[in-house]
Amino acid sequence: MEQNIGKELRLIRNYRGLTLRDLGMKTGISYSRLGKFEGGKEVPTIDIISKIEKVLDVNIEQYIETSKEIDIIFSDFLDSLFYYDDNNNFFEDKIEKGKMKFINFSFGKAQLIEYIIYILKNEFKRARAIENELFEYFEGNYECESLLYQYKGLMYRKFNQYEEAITCFEKAETMTINRKNMGMLYLHSSIAYKKCGNLIKAMLFIEKARRIFSEFGSLRRVSFCFVECGLLLKTNQQYEDAISQFNIAIRSLEMIDCPEELNARVYCNMCWAMILAKDYKRGLEYLEEAKVLEPKHGFTVLYGIWCNYKLKNYDEADQWISDNKHLQSDVNFCDFYELFTLLVKCRESVPSAKLMNLAMKIVDDFKKGEDFERINFYIDIVLDLLNRSGNELEKIKYLEMKVNLTKNH
């Protein structure tokens, strides 16, 4: 057998729980020579391979053929990510079934698929348990190393460790020439730069990603890029430009089979852009589309209450509140729902202590996060309430908070 299978022999030996000395004793081959086989310094003869196969309970020829099958599965998996097919469960199942028949479904590219899926599913403990083993296995395989750094970076990003994420993404970029992998990498990089407040780099990378997704016809990813462009422009207070990008995203999504909630989220983002621009009437126009698709979603409801409140359509705001009491028990939206309910009840009068304390609590909770737009939005609510109550001392405190927030963003 001419092929150098040293790395595979080491993997199988480790999987069987044997040291080089153990394998040497069982095969009658010196452990130092076995080390040369595993290190690629010497190619074992067919007779030696037969002895090793017997001890390790593996057929090397079959192992190599199965590896070719795994290569195809791996390529299909990466395409699934690129085209956003949401087939992770299919690939997980395929690997689990493969493990029952073939040993090499337990490491290498099959394990790299598992690593990526663990990170996408936020199962970080399981990902970290196999991370070092994968980096060791793929040393010198730059495309796979690039994927490891890319998804390690994504894990950092999910922990809000954006500088560490960007470092991983930069390293990954130096290792890959695969255009599809680069498209995914640029997408992940853009989101990390956005979270860091570097909107220029975020826009640069999302445009790079969009071009690659367009090149290969990944319409779902292209649509996502238009949404991300809209979000970036909104963050930069370019609201009309943001609306244009969101409209393109809507048209793109109409060309593909996608869940209705995706369209609803885009319309909600368009409404939010208009709320930030203080064009509440137009915000309600976009919200009507979201309401048709996802009427009970927290953001749909909150935006409906807020726009009507600001337009002094108090009866309509009350109707939104009355129709959506389910948010009282929704851990993600209950505080905001209660705040907006109290605001509508208060109208333009002097706020109650309960209303004031809840608004301040929400700002304090947001200060622990990194959502500049929403912190700013709720600080403005507090400032309005303080202005009505005549509390100048507290007002100065929140004005300073707003100034510092703007400086640091």
What is the distance between the alpha carbons of residues 37 and 30, in angstroms, rounded to a whole number?
11
Cα Rg of the chain, angstroms:
28
Q: Is the pLDDT of residue 339 over 70?
A: yes
pLDDT of residue 17: 87
pLDDT of residue 2: 44
Per-residue pLDDT tens over the stretch 121-180 = 999 999 999 999 899 888 889 999 999 999 999 999 999 999 999 999 999 999 999 999
User: Mean pLDDT of all residues in the chain?
Assistant: 92
Q: Is the pLDDT of residue 96 over 60?
A: yes
Homologous superfamily of domain range 6-58: lambda repressor-like DNA-binding domains (1.10.260.40)
How large is the average pLDDT for residues 22-30? 92
Out of 107-116, 316-325, 330-339, least confident range: 107-116
Residue with tokens 């207070």: 237
Per-residue pLDDT tens over the stretch 58-95 = 888 888 888 888 899 999 999 999 998 788 999 999 98
Q: Roughly what angle, to the nearest 10 degrees, separates helices 260-276 and 372-389?
A: 50
Question: pLDDT band at residue 367, thresholds of 50, 70 and 90?
Answer: low
- Cβ atoms 221, 213 nearer than 8 A: yes
* DSSP letter assigned to residue 406: H
Question: pLDDT band at residue 103, thresholds of 50, 70 and 90?
Answer: confident
How large is the average pLDDT for residues 300-308? 98
Instruction: Indicate the helix (H) or strand (E) that contains 280.
Output: helix 280-293
pLDDT of residue 409: 64
Out of 106-120, 170-184, 297-311, 337-351, least confident range: 106-120
Mark out the alpha helices in 121-218 (DSSP H runs): 124-137, 142-158, 162-175, 179-196, 199-215
Out of 132-146, 191-205, 360-374, least confident range: 360-374
